[in-house]
Chains A and B, each alone.
Chain A
Amino acid sequence: MTPSPDAVSARPRYDVIYDGDCGICEATRFYGERLDWLGLFRWRPNQEEGVLADHPHLKREDLDRAVHVVGCGRTLAGFEAMRFLMLRWPLAAWLGALMHLPGASIPGRAAYRWVADHRKTVLACRIGEPTILHKALASIFICAVLGVVGAGALLRVESWPLTCAPMFANHVEPDGARYSFRFISVDQSGKERELPSSAGGLPELRLKRVFFAKYYGSVDPGYEYGGIADDTPAKFEARMTAFFACFADEARKDGALPAGTLAIRLETIRDAEGPLERHTCGTYTLRDQRFRRAP
């Protein structure tokens, strides 16, 4: 049956003949087939039966040494074949154009020759094994992933996805004390009521962490969550003012701030053996929107 004219024109115009036992060549074919949007090339391993019969002017030893592009009366080998291919792959055409610049062929040919001569010795690139490019890129990626995982541990950074993996490791006081915070509303009659410690979409656990790390501050200036260098009582008051302004707004939106509230008192609690110990850190007054430390 005679193929239709359309089918004939749709056929690839060039044969790309490569070493089918070479991993680098196989990888080049893999990507080359995907980049050949114009459908110009047919990739054929030089071990395939019929390659030499189709192209009797080629010699087996030449095909073992370099990739060949054959078709439309042209035969190109090695570096010349590669830049011919690249110029016709739309995504790589810019690289093909660079390879055609005057003088580019001298280092290009040398580099191609070196890779071709060493691909099965130094580069150890046999079929089924990762190519040298794969190994290089994968090595960079391996170092990056282990770097991310190791950096948290080495630099003591605790911020997703970095972790220094504290994982339940902290000093416990002899009496097993644990500490917490309470936000207490105070109305005109002096009546107090504990406010829910969840606001603005943050549950209690997260809100108290944000409160401690960003506003309250740690006595350890080196701590990643709440370590504040050169902290002073004045700076502390300013941060508390900023926090409670936002907290009061959010609590009001949530309907959690009782009507008639004049102030919010910040209480710190120490829970150990025996009765709770309470300490009033200060009070935020809603009228003048200011937090004052307790004397």
Chain B
Amino acid sequence: MKRWNAFWFATTPRHSIGAFRIILCAWFVEDFLSFLPGLDSLLVRPGDWLVPSAGLLWMGRFLPLLEAGDCLTALRVFAWILAPLALLGIGTRFSLIALALVNFLLRSWHSSSVYVSHASILPSLALFVLALAPGVRAWSVDALLEAWRSRRRGERFLWADRLAGRPAAVWPIHLILAAAAVVYVSAGVAKLRWAGGDWLSGRTLQWYLQGTAGKKRLGDSTQFFVANRDAPAGVKFRDPWGIDRIANSTMSTSAGRTVGSSRALCAAFSWATLALELGFAFLFVLPRAGQYALLAGAAAFHAGIGALMGIDFGGWAVLFLAAVDWNSVLRRAGEFLPGLHASRAA
């Protein structure tokens, strides 16, 4: 119990959940620019082709409303209103909770066609964590107004102290990083479990990076499948090969196709990927510098995925910014500005 309390509930001025709120909400605003208009095409999806995701099933009572396009349109309007409010910190707690719920419903609905938008899972969960986190009103318009009222009552304080708020429990930051660690380690284990030697030799990665090469031969296909040739003959009545799984989809870039042409490069990237993903098992036992190195490595990893496979996992990289000591950064920025004025005056 002592260790549990020490790990989750230590209070530290090192992290600022308020500053992280600004960063995460800014990412959501940017992401909404493409995500929300993209829902238009799904509005005409026939009911038979809706395969509810787990999230949509949990929110089951909203399902009939969601199937009607009107509700979805309203939810999108709410999302547009709530995201900037949460970003600026206006009615902070309420706008964050509402945004987390609306975003959850929209993403659940979007992923209800046998397509799991992995890139949105962790940021969406992080939004719930933020919504319930202590200290989330730091660096918000709400905090600014409260400080202004206090100043009018005659209280004396430093604005930066007042906006930064009191040191809060570290559990929201640790929870976001722990959730990321669980997903990374699972991804590493899945690679060993399902692809095994093929992953380590670089064959699987090469197969994906060369995927678009097959596009010309397969008409308009971007979605491939894999087969289990060893499946019993009795279950192979659909096709002679035993198609058994949906392959992940990529749109390899020219850089990706270049890497895909070299087995040695693919093997090097595969080993590096595995080391990074399984390395997340040690995230919380590493010294601080090691933690930062691992998180920076993961951010670079996602930049690499974007450059080679054209898949945007930017939201995950944004989560790692939770580990930064934003209070120090913002205070130093505050110190820098008067200094700048002084030097100009001189």
A192 within 8 A of B: no
B220 within 8 A of A: yes
Contact, CB under 8 Å: A201 / B134: no
A129's contact among B9, B194, B245, by CB below 8 Å, is which? Answer: B9
Cα A180 to Cα B242 in complex, Å, equals 12
**Of the 9-residue stretches B23-31, B185-193, B317-325, which lies at the interface with chain A?**
B185-193
Contact, CB under 8 Å: A213 / B225: no
Residue of B nearest to A253 (CB): B44
The answer to whether A200 and B44 touch (CB under 8 A), given A130-B11, A138-B9, A180-B218, is yes
Contact, CB under 8 Å: A236 / B238: yes
Q: How close is B231's CB to chain A, nearest CB, in angstroms?
A: 4
Contact, CB under 8 Å: A179 / B225: yes
Q: How close is A24's CB to chain B, nearest CB, in angstroms?
A: 14
A111 within 8 A of B: no
A36 within 8 A of B: no
A172's contact among B113, B190, B198, by CB below 8 Å, is which? Answer: B198
B204 within 8 A of A: yes
B208 within 8 A of A: yes
Interface size class of A (residues with CB under 8 A): 35 or more
A95 within 8 A of B: no
B71 within 8 A of A: no
A210's contact among B43, B113, B190, B243, by CB below 8 Å, is which? Answer: B113
> B194-223, CB under 8 A of A: which get 1 and which 0?
111011000111011011001001111111
Q: Which of A22-75 contact B (CB under 8 A)?
A: none
A201 — which chain B residues lie within 8 A by C-beta? 41-45
A225 — which chain B residues lie within 8 A by C-beta? 114, 245-246
B150 within 8 A of A: no
B16 — which chain A residues lie within 8 A by C-beta? none
Q: Which of A179-208 contact B (CB under 8 A)?
A: 179-182, 194, 196-197, 200-208
B41 — which chain A residues lie within 8 A by C-beta? 201-203
Q: How close is A178's CB to chain B, nearest CB, in angstroms?
A: 4
Cα A90 to Cα B251 in complex, Å, equals 58
The answer to whether A142 and B245 touch (CB under 8 A), given A210-B51, A279-B240, is no
> A110-132, CB under 8 A of B: which get 1 and which 0?
00000000000000000011100
Residue of A nearest to B46 (CB): A200
Contact, CB under 8 Å: B229 / A173: yes
> B224-240, CB under 8 A of A: which get 1 and which 0?
11111101100111111
Q: How close is A103's CB to chain B, nearest CB, in angstroms?
A: 33
B275 — which chain A residues lie within 8 A by C-beta? none
Contact, CB under 8 Å: A171 / B246: no
A169 — which chain B residues lie within 8 A by C-beta? 187, 190-191, 193-195, 199, 204
Q: How close is B106's CB to chain A, nearest CB, in angstroms?
A: 11
Contact, CB under 8 Å: A223 / B245: yes
The answer to whether A146 and B46 touch (CB under 8 A), given A160-B108, A204-B221, A210-B51, is no
Cα A218 to Cα B246 in complex, Å, equals 9
A10 within 8 A of B: no
Residue of A nearest to B8 (CB): A142
**Of the 9-residue stretches A1-9, A12-20, A76-84, A268-276, which lies at the interface with chain B?**
A268-276
Residue of A nearest to B194 (CB): A169
Contact, CB under 8 Å: B191 / A167: yes
The answer to whether A141 and B242 touch (CB under 8 A), given A146-B179, A168-B248, is no
CB-defined A-B contacts under 8 Å, sample of 19: A134-B169, A139-B4, A157-B54, A160-B53, A161-B54, A168-B250, A169-B187, A170-B226, A177-B227, A178-B211, A178-B247, A179-B241, A203-B41, A205-B115, A220-B244, A223-B244, A270-B227, A276-B217, A279-B240
The 10 closest A-B pairs by CB, nearest first: A160-B111, A153-B186, A209-B114, A165-B187, A201-B44, A219-B231, A159-B54, A165-B186, A169-B194, A160-B53
Listed in ascending order, the chain A residues whose CB lies under 8 Å from chain B are 128-130, 134-135, 138-139, 141-142, 145-146, 148-150, 152-153, 157-173, 176-182, 194, 196-197, 200-210, 212-214, 216-221, 223, 225-226, 231-233, 236, 242, 246, 249-250, 268-271, 276, 279, 281, 293
Listed in ascending order, the chain B residues whose CB lies under 8 Å from chain A are 4-5, 8-9, 11, 41-46, 48-49, 51, 53-55, 104, 107-108, 111-118, 120-121, 124-125, 128-129, 132, 134, 166-167, 169, 171, 175, 178-179, 182-184, 186-187, 189-191, 193-196, 198-199, 203-205, 207-208, 210-211, 214, 217-229, 231-232, 235-250
11 A-B pairs besides A165-B186, A249-B46 with CB distance below 8 A are: A135-B9, A153-B183, A160-B53, A160-B55, A161-B55, A164-B190, A169-B187, A169-B194, A178-B211, A179-B225, A201-B45
